[in-house]
Amino acid sequence: MLCRSFFLLFLTAGTLARGHFGRQSTHPKLGRHRHHTLNRLPSQDTEDVDDPGHGDSGTWTNTTSMIGASKDDTSASNTSTSSGASGPYKLDVRYTGQDFFNEWDFFTAADPTHGKVNYLSKEDAKSKKLAYTNNGATFLAVDDKTTLQPGQNRDSVRITSKKTWSSGLFIADFAQVPYGCSVWPAYWSVGPAWPTGGEIDVFEGVNNQATNQYTLHTSKGCTSSQGSIKPTGKVSNKQCATINGDNTGCGFIDPNESSYGAGFNAADGGVFAHLWDKSGIKIWHFARNEIPQDIQAISDYGAATTGSPNPDSWGTPVAFWSPDTCDMGSHFHDHSLVFDTTLCGDWAGATYSSSGCPGTCEQAVADPSNFKNAKWKINYVSVYQPVGLDYNSSY
pLDDT > 70 in the chain, percent = 74
Residue 382 has pLDDT above 50, yes or no: yes
The active-site residue, picked from 199, 257, 290, 362, is 199
Q: How confident is the model at residue 22 (pLDDT cuts 50, 70, 90)?
A: very low
Confidence of residue 389 (pLDDT cuts 50, 70, 90): low
At 277, the pLDDT band (50, 70, 90 cuts) reads: very high
Residue 395 lies in a domain: no
pLDDT at 242: 83
Q: 14 lies in a domain?
A: yes
The active-site residue out of 47, 204, 290, 362 is 204
What's the pTM?
A: 0.81
Return the higher-pLDDT residue of 158 and 54: 158
- Check if 47 is active-site: no
Query: Phi and psi (nearest 5°) for 171?
Result: -125, 120
- Asked if the structure places residue 54 within a domain, the reply is yes
Contacts of 140 (CB under 8 A, 6+ apart): 130, 131, 157, 159, 339, 341, 375, 376, 378
| Amino acid occupying residue 292 | P
Please tell me what DSSP assigns to residue 96: -
How do residues 279-315 score in pLDDT, each as one tens digit?
A: 999 999 999 999 999 999 877 544 445 578 999 999 9
Least confident of 34-38, 137-141, 242-246, 329-333: 34-38
Residue 392 covered by a domain: no
Q: How large is the average pLDDT for residues 209-215?
A: 98
pLDDT of residue 207: 98
Q: Encode pLDDT of 338-367 as tens digits.
A: 999 999 999 999 999 999 999 999 999 999
| pLDDT beyond 70 at 247 | yes
pLDDT by residue (tens digit) across 45-103?
A: 333 334 333 333 333 444 433 322 232 332 222 222 223 333 489 999 999 998 999 99
Reduced DSSP (H G I as helix, E B as strand, rest coil) percent helix, strand, coil of the chain, to 5 = 20, 30, 50
CA 328, 329, 333, 337: dihedral to nearest 10 degrees?
A: 40
Number of domains in the chain: 1
103 has catalytic annotation? no
283: containing domain = 4-386
Cα 257 from Cα 280, distance rounded (Å):
26
Give me the half-sphere count of Cα atoms (radius 13 Å) on the Cβ side of residue 163: 20
Beginning with the edge strand found earlier in the chain, give each strand of the sheet holding 336-343 in spatial order: 104-106, 158-161, 336-343, 183-190, 199-204, 213-217, 250-253, 234-237
- Is 390 a residue whose pLDDT tops 60? no
What is the overall mean pLDDT for the chain? 81
Half-sphere exposure of 236 (CA within 13 A, CB side): 28
Residue 91 belongs to domain with CATH number: 2.60.120.200
Average pLDDT estimate for 177-186: 99
**Dist CA 90 CA 382 (whole Å):** 10
Query: How far, in Å, CA of 133 to CA of 140, rounded?
Result: 9
pLDDT surpasses 80 at 159: yes
Q: Are 285 and 260 in contact (CB under 8 A)?
A: no
Kindly tell me if the per-residue pLDDT of 2 is higher than 90. no
Tell me phi and psi for residue 138, to 5 degrees: -105, 130
Report how far residue 299's alpha carbon sits from residue 301's, in angstroms, rounded to the nearest whole number.
Answer: 6
Kindly state whether residue 393 falls inside one of the protein's structural domains.
Answer: no
